[in-house]
Structure 1
């Protein structure tokens, strides 16, 4: 299959990155589902290296990985018990042009290299020098909408022939992940129902994820009061007014301790009022199951100027949201949360 033109390549990269965000896959975080797929690929191909690699417009993210317990100089037989991610010089991420997977994504077709040294365009690749890879088999990883998200690939430290049976098996293995992507889309639909409730709330609400407080969602009241901000932006950067009054410091503490924190009686000028307004901010850590680590923070702002709302109401609201997130399960906090 022909490679994409530079313009098509850029457009495809943007589409792929957006889809990875929607599916909650745009990070290097390891995931057991993808590690298992990598293990299966290594097992039936008898290859010492296997990865499930997602590629955005900047980098590659090996969310699934299987490598031997030894080193390229002293490889361990995969059937003898390799362990995921054990090579000291191999990370869960790589630059966007590193290795052979970007070629698979660009061509949107399987790439089989029996001996890298037989291909002048590939034998100088850093992957050969860094890990001693001599053979590679990479298969496009398509989601349920047809977008190529990355690859399922295997590699060996010696030349070898990738026969037709192995190529077909790798294609079939990559297709088993379609159900995973469909599940994430289903959870997205449930999230949208949940956030439709947030849209109708009479107070500002925002949901952030991770220690950098990446903005996943903000309802209409949040935008009216504190300013419209882009989805996936860093909260501190785009909401400096809230940072100045200590809201993000409280969010830091909530995420660190796993306990709700408050910023009481904070006064600031809002976009929808000429006079300063007083707010009580409740920052509640959010997780996707009772045993999962806290992954995000739900921040509710109650206007205590004039009529306002009481603290008990915001606490009850946040507790209900926490329960709903835990019911949604593992993908509830994903890049798919709508933004403003």
Structure 2
């Protein structure tokens, strides 16, 4: 494969980031399924280190990882070698994250094919990599991790602290193991499609609603009324930045509190000149934390607005709507598997651009 130009690499990284965001894989949070796959990879190849590594435009995220257990008796790994693996050079608060130039996985993604390094020192281009200098890695085998649409999302990789021959059988086994994750990505897309059907029902609500993800309040969904009142915005945009008028009156502060505490927050009254009015209007905002299942951690905030300019302040209707929406979302998603992604294939129908 011909090397990408810097502009092509940037565009590929942006597309990959967007796909990972939609699948809710754009972060370093560990998942048992990916940890299990990493463990199988280590077992198949007899390697001391294995990872399921998703790579966006800026960083690497090890959502699956196998690291050999510590050996307090100093017996090593059974063949006379002591295994030393230290993650201290990675950010202490997010140990499963690394810079984009760290290691060999970004090369696998860029070239779109498996990369086998029996001895890193035999390749001048890789010899000075931080993974070699800081962690002592001498052998590496990385396989592209493709989803069912054909897009490369990252790698399934193994590494060793000594030179070794990976061999054809191990290379093929790693390829087959990577392909087993196709069903995981297909399942996530299926759940997103089901959630899209649910959103189509709520899109007809007569008041503005939006669903955001994470502490940065990435906009996942907004109904037509939200766009009419507060502006049409692009999917996955950071809400605080693109909806500055709402931020100015304290809506995102209330959303911050709801996300952080898990408690529904109400902004009783905020005066805004909405896009569909020439005069200032009075709104109340109800910010409800949401989860992807009843036992999952808080994933985002559902914000419901109501125009109270010509009527008494009331909280019951938006609170009831938010509760109904929240209950349906939690019941639809079996576990922390994927975020709702509105408008798949036709985003303009439910999510505002």
Q: Same fold (TM over 0.5)?
A: yes
Verify: 1:318 aligned to 2:329, yes or no. Answer: no
Aligned to 2:66: 66
Aligned to 1:125: 129
* Per-residue CA distance 1:112-134 (angstroms, 9 max, x = gap): 11111111111111110010000
Verify: 1:11 aligned to 2:15, yes or no. Answer: no
Aligned to 2:27: 27
* Per-residue CA distance 1:192-239 (angstroms, 9 max, x = gap): 112212321111001111122222222221111112223222222222
RMSD over aligned CA atoms reads: 2.3
> Would you identify which runs of 4 or more consecutive aligned residues in structure 1 move more than 6 Å?
none
Verify: 1:45 aligned to 2:50, yes or no. Answer: no
Aligned residue for 1:295, secondary structure, equals strand
Residues 142 and 176 of structure 1: CA distance in aligned 2, closer, same or farther (over 3 Å): same
**What TM-score do you get using the length of structure 1 for normalisation?**
0.91
Q: Using the alignment, how far apart are the partners of 2:180 and 2:4 within structure 1?
A: 26
**Range moving further from structure 2, 206-215 or 7-16:** 7-16
Aligned to 1:165: 169
Aligned residue for 2:219, secondary structure, equals strand
Q: Using the alignment, how far apart are the partners of 1:268 and 1:251 within structure 2?
A: 17
**What TM-score do you get using the length of structure 2 for normalisation?**
0.87
In structure 1, the gaps of 5 or more residues are: 80-84
Task: State the 1:248 CA deviation.
Answer: 1.5
* Per-residue CA distance 1:78-131 (angstroms, 9 max, x = gap): 99xxxxx97333431222222111111111111111111111111111110010
Aligned to 1:283: 287
Would you say the 8 A contact 2:31–2:64 is kept in 1?
yes
Residues 134 and 75 of structure 1: CA distance in aligned 2, closer, same or farther (over 3 Å): farther
Matches within 5 A, 1:214-233: 214-233=218-237
**Range moving further from structure 2, 262-271 or 329-338:** 329-338
Q: Using the alignment, how far apart are the partners of 1:128 and 1:37 within structure 2?
A: 24
Aligned residue for 2:154, secondary structure, equals strand
Verify: 1:143 aligned to 2:147, yes or no. Answer: yes
* Per-residue CA distance 1:258-304 (angstroms, 9 max, x = gap): 12111113222111111211112111110011111111110000111
Aligned to 1:261: 265
Would you say the 8 A contact 1:68–1:76 is kept in 2?
no
Q: Using the alignment, how far apart are the partners of 2:145 and 2:197 within structure 1?
A: 29
Task: State the 1:11 CA deviation.
Answer: 3.5
Matches within 5 A, 1:82-101: 87-90=87-90, 91-101=95-105
The number of residues matched between the two structures is: 333
In structure 2, the gaps of 5 or more residues are: 80-84, 344-350
Would you say the 8 A contact 2:188–2:338 is kept in 1?
no
Task: State the 1:334 CA deviation.
Answer: 2.3
* Per-residue CA distance 1:12-63 (angstroms, 9 max, x = gap): 3233222212211111222111111111111221111111111112211111
